[in-house]
Chain A
Amino acid sequence: MPAERLLPTDEARELLGLVADITDQELEPRASIDEAASQFPRKAFTVLGRAGLLGLPFSEEVGGGGQPYEVYLQVLEEIAYRWAAVGVGVSVHVMSCFPLDRFGSPAQRAELLPSLLAGDLLGAYCLSESHAGSDPAAMMTRATVAPGDPAAGDAADAGFRISGTKAWVTHGGVADFYTVFARTPSAASAGDTPAAKTADGGISCFLVDAGTSGLDFYPPEHKMGLTASPTTQIGFNDVPVPAARLVGARGQGLTIALTALDSGRLGIAAVAVGLAQRALDDAVAYAQERRTFGKAIIDHQGLGFLLADMAAAVESARATTLAAARRRDHGLPFSRQASIAKLVATDAAMKVTEDAVQVLGGAGYTRDHPAERYMREAKVMQIFEGTNQIQRLVISRHLARS
């Protein structure tokens, strides 16, 4: 029983119809094949991009689709229903555009956002490092200020040079632009002394083109799931970044990163709901066909109740996620609710996908059925964009402050 949606507008209904059409034809037939071959479906993203599905939650003035999160998240759900790795990819792309949209200057937004949202480019988000995942403030990647050329009469700084190694970058090596966080020297401590150049001024956010010199893309990690989506380390070897590509104020980077993650977590929650819905639908279809002891297994109460619990988990995860989205759409604080949604939805996806394997019995344990893949895909959702322990930390800190 596919999801029954309550959508706010006719426009949203037509959008969801378009998404079903495209994902049925472009994603559904390829998901299992490309996942098995660890093949990144770049062309699928181009098709989604041309249809306007990579910029949905951004305003129309900058080339976005002008959709509320309540609608955008349901699109993500439908994409992840056909192919979780693509759902994750769209969510990560949107998160990579978020800092520029929210914190960029009007000139930067006008110059850069339309091309990032036009659909041909794909973004990536470089926050984590090997030793700084849950604790991104411990990052060591550093941007130094490159002084302007005094001979040419440059009074202002020419820009920055980034050095360090980022880890776990979704779309590493296949993205067209990278939103990168790095430590910068304090803006106040100007001057030419080495100490002033390196005095810690916190973290800053930059936009780096994939073609920039000094970027070193490592081979993709060998992951348990989401194998079609490359996750890599990226070496930054004195990578030049013009001053105009600093997003927000110098030192504002950690705030930017955490603000982006609040919205990103809603995206991951929606992807988890889509994946869980798919596992449920596949399990129900199988349970209606498969017969033991003279009847369909869904008619054995012991199994029917398992399916009922799965349905309850999927629908409550969706409700929690959309409730958080509506707060965001209404301009209310939603950080705590986003963490709750991410925690609830990804835990639900883990439980539901595991139970889907159980419903399929021995068949569920083979790679001939996608149930085991769903289970492998669900696991990472409890880990990235803040592990579910970190979500609890966010929630409990909100409670302590209240």
Chain B
Amino acid sequence: MPRYITTIGLEVHAQLNTRSKMFCPCAVEYGAEPNTRTCPVCLGLPGALPVLNLAAIEKTILTGLMLDCRTPDISKWDRKNYFYPDMPKNYQLTQFDQPLCIGGGVPLYELSYPKDAQKTIKNPGKVVKLTRIHLEEDVGKSTHTGAGTLLDFNRAGTPLMEIVSDPDLETAEEAFAYLNSLRQILIYGGVSEADMEKGQMRCDVNISVRPEEQKELGAKIELKNLNSVSAVRRAIHHEVARQTECLERGEKLVQSTRRWDDDRGETQLMRTKEDAHDYRYFPDPDLLPIHTSPILERMRVHKPELPHEKCARFVQDYAVSAYDANVLASEKPLANWFEQAVAADTKVPAKKIANWVINELLGHLNASNATLADSKVTPQALNQLVADVELGKISNNQAKEVFEEMFATGETPVTIIKQKGFEQVSDSGAIEKLCDEVIAANPAKVAEFKAGNDKVLNWMTGQIMKSSSGKANPKVVGDVLRGKLG
């Protein structure tokens, strides 16, 4: 039986989070009353003209900087002609042959892969090559009802960045990782909210399967209607299996577009190459070409530290493990939160804070299905809690109890420790008194210790903890006992 090679390329559309639309001053706003965020330009009224939103250009060029793309000196606008009721002008302003960004790549992070695949990553450290990134305008929204089709042009003219990868991916898991990693980077750069479920990021998959001995790529099959990262993974698995079966049966695959049906877990044929549009691209005469160099220079300083750069710094500066650094850097707000907690009092070891963030904070957030933004625990409060543990004011188990309360109420550790009566007695005078009592009451144990049985010390410490109802600091108790007996 021949082996098959899968080749995958992704086309991602990401909505930029600019305040206004691509070519008019209308607000970009979701959930507004239909057709209330429109004007002559985005409605395609006769005589209206587009004017560039510079912020959209800046954000796209910034994305190019983050993804190591090249930005040519001149970038221009083209018209893509096709008729559809949700497209007001019946042509879309886009960039055909002189996009804002060329080349570059998306690094696949270990944690971007699906959890069940992180142990079996085929190409660790892979960077998926990009073909280009260009900017275009979004279309309106059609809602089909029994009575007809309703059109809402609030979305029409929203800046949309199209990120096109090379056919450089091999598996569904890589595609999954690509989308997560890309999303993370877009959020890091503050250019897009990039939420697939909210339609802020959309993805078409080009996929082809060919027998190993065949040199040229197999027929390109495009998948549409993929509304989540996991749907992309499922769809690719399904499509690879389907195409492989076809080839095994000796069928010939033809270039086509297929629609993913998430409920049925299968793809359905939409159209074949013969129905392909001729978009009749030509340069838009209403918009001038963009001279990118001054924008590029300006945006260089805005390039943020990227997830993998942050990871490396966390390992270096905070002595956290690579895995922990990955977790902390996975989301920019989390990384910022962590760094604020560390900065609150730098005497507290960062590594300890990292453990608390990852195990307790994230654990609690996950368990309660909440996000960091919902958390009542402040970075400063966590630092205080960890400091208390480090200074021996409370035990680790007590601290977990305190954290529970902090997470639930947002109270500070000081208050909760007081309420719970957790303050440990570290005052050696009081502890000495307790030690003396125990030594006096247990001469046989003292003799055992002196004969060399170290374990007796633990027993005596236990007695003192009991008589102090747990408040004595076990470390101080141990030290005092040793001094008195040794």
Question: Are A and B genuine complex partners?
Answer: no
- B interface with A by C-beta (< 8 Å): none
